[in-house]
């Protein structure tokens, strides 16, 4: 966030892990700490990120961005974001590892100060393990606010969970008979989970190209183009 210039007489408390704040106060303190790279407000509690390792976070994150970036390149009216602040409600302002949103006619908007407001249609989090906040507090926050597709890559467990919002609840999506997960909300967004977990990006992109060539994706492209 942008640094806020204050008079010498005004002192803003620093953000600390575990602080209990509303979103307004969270943003106020966050903006006064320009060197802080990542802090999130989840259910009114501040969470601050630890240093990130390359194999447990940096590389998986890059692979997800490559996959989503390739899809976005062939699908109009979408916006892909990396570690963007999302204003969900008064108690929740996460900074997901990746978001994918519909720019025009979607369920989120961009504020005058350039933040996402409302729920992006898809969120991905890179998690250490199944005990992570991403599968507990964030899971409920994203479900309640209407994130349609929620992916959690549990790196230490060697698993990727894909949840789809269905009638207000998250349903875990399994691979089809060909070992592929196909997004319902984003037609053509196909994922070979086994290839992704194995680091076989060539296979991941090959399967994605098959999704992009599908009639469902072509129809989705036409629909999105008509909204602009």
Chain segment 98-138, per-residue pLDDT in tens: 999 999 999 999 999 999 999 999 999 999 776 778 888 99
Residue ranges covered by each domain of the chain: 54-227
Name the DSSP class of 34.
T
pTM of the model: 0.89
Check pLDDT > 60 for residue 4.
Answer: no
Q: How far apart are CA 7 and CA 54, in angstroms?
A: 40
Q: Which CATH superfamily is domain 54-227 in?
A: tt1808, chain A (3.90.1570.10)
Q: How confident is the model at residue 172 (pLDDT cuts 50, 70, 90)?
A: very high
In whole angstroms, how far apart are CA 221 and each of 55, 78, 103, 164?
Answer: 35, 10, 13, 21
Helix (H) or strand (E) holding 72: helix 59-73
Q: Are 192 and 210 in contact (CB under 8 A)?
A: no
Query: What is the rounded distance in angstroms from the CA atom of residue 124 to the CA atom of residue 7?
Result: 39
Which two structure tokens, joined as six digits, stand for 117? 């407001």
Report which of 137, 173, 156, 145 is spatially closest to residue 42, judged by C-alpha positions: 137
**Of 39-53, 133-147, 204-218, highest mean pLDDT:** 204-218
């Amino acid at each position: 966030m942008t640094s806020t210039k204050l008079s010498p007489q005004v002192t803003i408390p620093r953000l600390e892990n575990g602080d209990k704040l509303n979103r307004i106060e969270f943003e106020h303190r966050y903006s006064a700490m320009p060197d802080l790279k990542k802090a999130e407000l989840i259910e009114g509690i501040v969470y601050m990120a630890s240093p990130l390792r390359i194999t447990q976070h940096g590389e998986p994150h890059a692979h997800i961005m490559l996959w989503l970036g390739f899809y976005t390149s062939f699908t109009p009216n979408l916006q892909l974001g990396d570690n963007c602040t999302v204003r969900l409600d008064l108690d929740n302002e996460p900074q997901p590892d990746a978001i994918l949103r519909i720019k025009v006619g979607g369920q989120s908007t961009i504020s005058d100060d350039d933040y996402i407001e409302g729920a992006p249609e898809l969120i991905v989090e890179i998690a250490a393990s199944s005990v992570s906040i991403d599968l507990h507090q964030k899971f409920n926050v994203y479900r309640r606010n209407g994130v349609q597709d929620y992916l959690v890559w549990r790196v230490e467990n060697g698993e990727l969970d894909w949840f789809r919002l269905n009638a207000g609840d998250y349903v875990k999506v399994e691979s089809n008979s060909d070992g592929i997960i196909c997004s319902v909300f984003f037609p053509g967004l196909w994922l070979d989970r086994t290839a992704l977990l194995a680091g076989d990006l060539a296979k991941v992109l090959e399967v994605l190209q098959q999704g992009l060539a599908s009639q469902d994706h072509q129809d989705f492209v036409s629909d999105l183009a008509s909204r602009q």
